[in-house]
Structure formats: structure tokens, C-alpha cells
Amino acid sequence: MCGIFGIISNKSNLEVGKLIREGLERLEYRGYDSAGIAVVNNGAIELRKKSGRIADINKNGWLDSIPGQFGVGHTRWATHGKPVQHNAHPHLDCTGKIGIVHNGIVENYQDLRKELLLRGHDFKSDTDTEVFTHLIEEFIAKGFDLKDSVIQTVKKCRGAYGVVVIHADTPDYMIVARKESPLVLGIIPGESTYCASDIPAFLPLTREAIILDDDEVAILKPGEVEIYGVHEGKKKNISPFEVSYSIDAAQKSLDGVQFPWYMIKELHEVPQKIKEQVQIPQTDLDGFCKAIMDADHVFITAAGSSYYAALAGKFQITRCGGPYIDAVLCSEFVDLVPKLSKNSLVIAISQSGETADTIEAVRYARDKWNAKICSIVNVVGSSLTRYSDHVLITTAGPEIAVASQKAFCTQVTALSLIGLRIAELHNTISKNEVTMYKEALAATSKITQQILVEQGKIKEIAGKLMDFENVYFLARGISSAAALEGALKLKEVAYIHTEAYAAGESKHGPIALIEDGFPVIFVSPPDETYDRMIGNVMEMKSRGAVVYSIVSATDEKITSISDYTIRIPFLDSKYAIDTCVVPCAFVLQLMAYFISIKKGLDPDKPRNLAKSVTVK
Ligand code: G6P
């Protein structure tokens, strides 16, 4: 949540404002209700900030033309204080010499603010962040240098922070610090240093990166970084690593084709990303699988789409002979699981690896109950990876669209692979079945490709659904994960109220809303639930619902009682049908995209949402 981008360089004639604005635009998926830039310019700080999206704020080059030598910018997702100009970052201290941007939450900001007000500080915003600026101001006044002032300040602040601090009187460096909010550094040795909330922000500028750890503070100079521990104060020796993914990953083009939105570009990446996921070395899964099989109680936890991937995954792992797994939303974990038995294990799923609730659940299970942690994460080096005993990195690559889609597809695939590896290592299902499942899993790449080729039908149905205010999604068994993901996607990117229900449960409430013309989407692959689904379709139809069904290419029965169908070219085998979540969810993700653009909305940046939810 919130994007930070800063730059310090010794290159002459650098367009600092433009570079910062471009970096912020690459981070806009993290928050987009206001933005601003502060730069040091000949012994003073220049500040420009406003509410709104960066492109609007930068009309006539207002941000690009800010004069200065180095500086920092911020794109905000409001937590403390409305998204208005005075709450936009950067914030300045009373002297106007210190500028700061912050991602995270200062939990004790009210007490700190009260004390600072009593000591005569003038607050210009309602944010928690502003306490940082005034505390740093006080430490500077006491004679500390900028780095030590930041260290003293973060020691007083409880909570999470990624902060960048500039000072008008220190023209040759800036300071960054981090705890529980991401902050990464990019370096062109001897020339330029960048700091950002995420690597794609500086990928067009450099591939040399350092991921700052919790409780670290760094001095950034042009092309040079010094890192210190906040508590022990010692200088650390950390070398940059080379980022392996391509710049394309963070742009709207793919294989030379330019897409209008990240969401559709990333949906087009799905076939290839599944292929890469399926091809990861099987032995990479062994530690993960052993930990699951050795545990006495296994939980799986996540938020949003990652949680729905978790629901599909827990089912697959158990079906393959792994243990029964309890799924708990990460935001509920601490409250719903007051006790973990000895030898418990938590599988955490997250695209960003930074979701605050996921991290809280994991830390609670690990620190309080000594549970082992296995995580499936898309972002290398993210916080979650640091709290885990075993990590499986998904192959989705950078995902920029706020509503996750390709990450979901690779998460489900990765969890299925874990189930199959457990089956292989523990002979829980026959070798022949493992082979059939593996073939089916690999085929989901081709099936999603085929769905893209034949997307006309999905577009047509999108046109029929776009004007409804409410849509139900019904499914049974593992397909419920696809229905939940489809309902979430439609809600997020097309602002349609949706509910996904277990089809059998629909009689216990949802059916009361059914009247002539109410749209109900059934996810109905021909699995063991199929005959019961026929009954559920009939119940809805006979009360006037308009039925849209996701079925197999050869389906007859549900097709004959549905008003519209989208047919998925599954392979003709039980194993392919058991592996249906990704193709079914993919169809629904595409449909949500088409409805969003037909309604003239921005599918990449839905209102009020942010991609990386780093607040609880
Ligand atoms: C946000 C995003 C969702 C995502 C969820 C969990 O709500 O908009 O797309 O599924 O966070 O994020 P994570 O990074 O933990 O998977």
C-alpha cells in the first residue's frame, strides 16, 4: 500500500521530477488517491502534491518540471486522513527543510502527535506520517546527523514503515529505513541510486538491486549505499543482486503486442506462466512436502484471490493423499485459532508476500505456537519469505493489475504440484494416476490459450451481464474456488454486487432474491457434483433466474437447461476435470475484464483498492 520512489544521482542535466513521476506511475497499483514529489533544490525543498491520479496531477508537466538535484515521491492509499492535498505525501517539518514519504502505519502516532503539539510543532496534515518529520526535526536540533536522527525517530515509532528522508542542508545523500513495509534499492554503481516500494519501479533504469531488511537504515549516495542495523548501529556488508525478470514484465506489451490495460496483458501471460510453473524442478518441492507430511495439524491461510487459490489447493493436496487442511482467512487467523497444537504447520499464500494480515497470522503461529511456516509467494525477497521455513516462488512474475489473476492461476497450479509430489513421495495414489494428473495440469496451459483464442463468446456474455447490479455465482466442491474468484473479480473491476455460494446452500437464503431475469452463473464441470448441480440449476430456473453456465465442450445436460453457456475445452478425462479450477476461474477473470471495459471503467486500478495491502 502506497508507492515510494526516490532518486539520487551525479548525472548532469537529470530530469529528476520526470524520473520520479515515471517511477511513481510504475507503482500506482499500490495506491492512487493522491501523489507528490519533494526535491532538494539549492539548499531548499521544493514540494508539489495534490489529490488524484498521477497523470491528472502531472497535467502540463507540473510534477515533471519540479526543479532540483535529488528527491523522492509518493503515491498514496489513504489510511489516516482523507485523500486530500494536505494529507498527500511528502510531508515537511516546521522548518520546511526536512521532507519525508512513508508507507506503513505508525501505531502510536496519536501519543507522539500530542507530545509534539505540546512542544509547539505545527501539524499540517491528519496523517500518522507527519510525526516522523517533527521527531527528526527535534533530533537534528539536538545535534544528531540525519542518519542518527532517523534511527532515533524510528526507535520511538511503533508499527510499520518504509520511509525516505531528504534534508535541504545535506545535498549529497538521503536516508531510508524499513520495518515491515517493503523498500528496495536499485544501483548504477558510481552514478545513481534509487529507492522504491517494489523492483519494477526502477527496472527500466537498473537491474542491480538490494532488498532492505526489517530494522535497517541506509544512507543513499549517488551510485553508493551504506546499510546499518537500527539497533546495533553496525555497518553491514550487503552486495546487490541482479534482477532476473525482463522489463517487459512491468510494461503493457507482450511479445511485441501492446495491450490497453495490464489486466488483459497479464491474462494473456497466463498460459506461459502455468507452463513455467509446471516445469519447476520437482525436487524443489520436497522440503515443502516433507514439512506438510510431518506436521500433526496443517492450516492454510491467505487473503483475497490468494485465499481462493488456497481453497482449491487444500482440496487438491488432500485428494492426492496429503493431510486434511484447515483453511482460515489470514485476517481472522489470530481470532479464530486461539490455540495451535504442537507440531502445527501453516501454509501461507500471497502474491506480494507483504499482506499485513498474512504476515500477522504467520508470525503469530510461528512466534507464539512454534508452528512451521511454508509459503507460496510471487515476490522474491518479500517479507513473507523471511518468516518461512520453506518457500515456493510462483512463476507469475510482476503482476501490476491490482486485482490478481495470473498470480491466482500459478498459485493453484503450485498447490496442485505439491499435492502430486506428496503422492509421488508417499505413494498415496497410484503412479499411473500421478502421471494422468500431471498431464492434466500441464494441459491447463493449452486450455487457457484456447480460451483466449475463442474469447468471443465470453465477450458476448459480458455484454449481457454488464448492466446487472447483482449476480450470483454457484458451484460445488473444488469449483467453488473458481466461483469465489469469479465473483470477487466481477465485484472488484466491474463494481457489480456479487455473491458466490455453495450451490447446495443457495436454498438457505440466496434463492429468496431470485425473480424473473436474475442472473446466476453456474460453474459446472462434469465432476462428481454434476448431477446435483442439475438440480440446483433447475431450482433457479423455475423461479425465473437467467442461467449462465461454465461447462465442458461436450456438455449436454446442463447446456439444455441453461440460457447461455461458455464451453471449456477440457481434456476428456476425470483427471482433467479434477484440475478444472484454473480454466474455470480464467474464463470468469476474462469475463470480469470485458465487463469492466465495456462499462468504461479502469480494470487496472479499481476504486478504493490497492494491490499490496500492508495495513491490518
Ligand atoms: C489485495 C489485492 C488482491 C489480492 C489480495 C491478497 O486485495 O487486490 O488481488 O488477492 O490483496 O494479496 P496477496 O499479495 O497477499 O496475494
359 pocket-lining for ligand 1 (C-beta < 6 Å): no
Of 615 and 170, the one with more pLDDT: 170
- Overall average pLDDT of the 138-149 stretch: 97
305 pocket-lining for ligand 1 (C-beta < 6 Å): yes
Of the chain, the percentage scoring pLDDT greater than 70 comes to 100
Beta bridge partners of 74: 4, 36
**Cβ contact 108:159 at 8 Å:** yes
For residues 203 and 286, membership in a common domain is answered with no
For residues 404 and 528, membership in a common domain is answered with no
Give the nearest ligand 1 atom to 379 CA. 14
Amino acid symbol at 614? T
Among the candidates 249, 276, 298, a domain finishes at: 249
Among the candidates 369, 394, 429, a domain finishes at: 429
Amino acid symbol at 260? P
* Strands of the sheet with 241-242, listed across from one edge: 44-51, 34-41, 70-76, 3-9, 192-196, 184-188, 208-211, 241-242
pLDDT for 571 equals 81
For residues 239 and 322, membership in a common domain is answered with no
584 catalytic? Reply is: no
Cα 502 to middle of ligand 1, angstroms? 23
For residues 183 and 302, membership in a common domain is answered with no
pTM: 0.88
pLDDT for 239 equals 93
pLDDT for 1 equals 75
pLDDT for 110 equals 95
Cα 331 to middle of ligand 1, angstroms? 12
Domain with residue 397: its CATH number is: 3.40.50.10490
For residues 470 and 414, membership in a common domain is answered with no
For residues 171 and 207, membership in a common domain is answered with yes
362 pocket-lining for ligand 1 (C-beta < 6 Å): no
Does the residue 441 lie in any domain? Answer: no
Report the residue among 301, 388, 613 best suited for mutation to probe ligand 1: largest number of ligand atoms under 8 A from its CB: 613
pLDDT for 321 equals 96
Q: Whose CA is nearest to atom 2 of ligand 1?
A: 611
Question: What are 12-52's pLDDT values in tens digits?
Answer: 889 999 999 999 999 998 988 999 999 999 999 999 999 99
For residues 175 and 221, membership in a common domain is answered with yes
Total of domains in the chain: 3
Does the residue 437 lie in any domain? Answer: no
For residues 488 and 590, membership in a common domain is answered with yes
Residue 253 pLDDT > 90: no
Question: What are 451-484's pLDDT values in tens digits?
Answer: 999 999 999 999 999 999 999 999 999 999 999 9
Element (H, E) at 392: strand 390-393
For residues 401 and 325, membership in a common domain is answered with yes
2 catalytic? Reply is: yes
Cα 402 to middle of ligand 1, angstroms? 8
48 pocket-lining for ligand 1 (C-beta < 6 Å): no
Question: What are 421-457's pLDDT values in tens digits?
Answer: 999 999 999 999 999 999 999 999 999 999 999 999 9
Domain span at residue 462? 450-604
pLDDT for 612 equals 78
351 pocket-lining for ligand 1 (C-beta < 6 Å): yes
pLDDT for 503 equals 96
406 pocket-lining for ligand 1 (C-beta < 6 Å): no
Q: Which residues contact 431 (CB under 8 A, 6 or more apart)?
A: 424
Euclidean distance between CA atoms 373 and 496, whole angstroms: 36
Does the residue 540 lie in any domain? Answer: yes
pLDDT for 51 equals 96
For residues 244 and 262, membership in a common domain is answered with no
